[in-house]
Amino acid sequence: MPVFLETTAPDFEAQFSALLAAKREEAVDVDDTVAAIIADVRARGDAAVIELTTRFDRLDLTPATLAFTRDEIEAHCATVPEEERIALECAAERIRAYHARQRPEDARWTDAAGAELGWRWGPVAAAGLYVPGGLASYPSSVLMNAIPAQVARVERLVICAPTPEGQVNPLVLLAAKIAGVHTVYRIGGAQAVAAMAYGTETIAPVDKITGPGNAYVAAAKRRVFGRVGIDMIAGPSEILVIADAENDPDWIALDLLSQAEHDESAQSILITTDADFGRAVAAAVDTRLATLQRRAIAGASWRDFGAVIVVQDMVEAARLSDRIAPEHLELCVADPEALFAQIKHAGAVFLGHWTPEAIGDYVGGPNHVLPTARSARFSSGLSVLDFMKRTTVARMTPEALARIGPAAETLAVSESLEAHGLSVRARLDRLNTF
């Protein structure tokens, strides 16, 4: 059973703090193993990647078969049913249109001192997109990672998607094709991250690595950060639904289960002003769990990490929501805009009764790669900006340097950086000879 909390209870603060502090992932100590894998790939390149793929994925490869050929991709794509192809194309079109609006603009201006200032945006040269294999092989994640990179105009995009025992998800390859990614390596795990970060004889290194993965992939991304950029270290999925009593309990139950079915460590929380409605939703969850295909996973998530919190009003609901800083936040209330105005921390927000979070996973348009584990307090979901860099630019005229140079010289002297100050003073002295 999920926990039931009421803000009026004397021990609420202690119980709510315990809910926030609950550890939802096993602390698997994989760092030493991952360090050894990365060192092996750096030392032996293709040979290490091939041996590790044989060991972990039970798949024998050669340098020539590390990547799918164009013919193989076309053959697998041809097996996708028409309805699924159309759905993927619909999702891609909407994701592309949304992310196109995120492209930033260059800027130049001249300030009051006469200095010309500004910035210029440009894409990273190459990006590697990690796509998990097995049960967690989601073509929607291919679109969510690849399309923002494409909109940013990244010149070279590659995908690493493991195919354990040679099992291929044709939808993943079709999503890659639709997103404009033509190089898909059939490798995964820490060895794939290492190959993308450092390169091998066959795999050219990239500048940024994005995409979710298991504990080994997460540890590898942590270790290669600095050599390359990464998007984030994603934890288990989570959803917070704030709902008043004017909702269908079954709808809200399904919204909660939409995240619970991802992972036994996922978390689904309901905040409501009506205790009876909260109990009705919990009952509806139990009813749906009896027939849900992934009921074992969803049931464990709801039992171990689910919660129903009864608040006195929506002001209190907003305050608790910001403390949770959820990955996904549904506002199923009479005036979602008014409540949204009070919310500061959330990865993605879904307004109103007719906007289930599942729409955001597929065809809404905004990215579904989002901050988890309360990191929405300080970070954002994946966007075009994750694949771009900002370069600042400045140009001093003699007049501008004469105005602001003395202040720079003073600060350099105060920091005991003599050459800094002299580089400015030399120019100021030249000006004084005119």
Distance, C-alpha 70 to centroid of its chain: 29
Query: Which residues, in sequence order, are CB contacts of 64 under 8 Å at separation 6+?
Result: none
* Farthest CA pair distance, the chain: 88
Strand partners, 392: 119
The DSSP 8-state label assigned to residue 131 in this structure reads -
Which has the closest alpha carbon to 266: 217, 212, 341?
212
Q: Which of 238, 264, 327, 330 is catalytic?
A: 327
Let me know if 368 is a catalytic residue.
no
Residue 421: in which H helix or E strand, if any?
helix 418-432
Let me know if 327 is a catalytic residue.
yes
Per DSSP, the residues of 298-316 read: HHHHHHHH-EEEE-SSHHH
Backbone angles phi and psi of 45, in degrees to 5: 60, -130
What are the distances in angstroms from CA 190 to CA 32, 212, 220? Answer: 12, 12, 5
Rg (CA), the chain: 26
Backbone angles phi and psi of 7, in degrees to 5: -65, -20
Cα torsion for 378, 382, 387, 390, to the nearest 10°?
Answer: -30
Tokens representing residue 313 in the block: 């009003």
Q: Which of 262, 328, 353, 368 is catalytic?
A: 328
The CA distance from 411 to 424, in Å, is 11
Query: Which of the residues are catalytic?
Result: 327-328
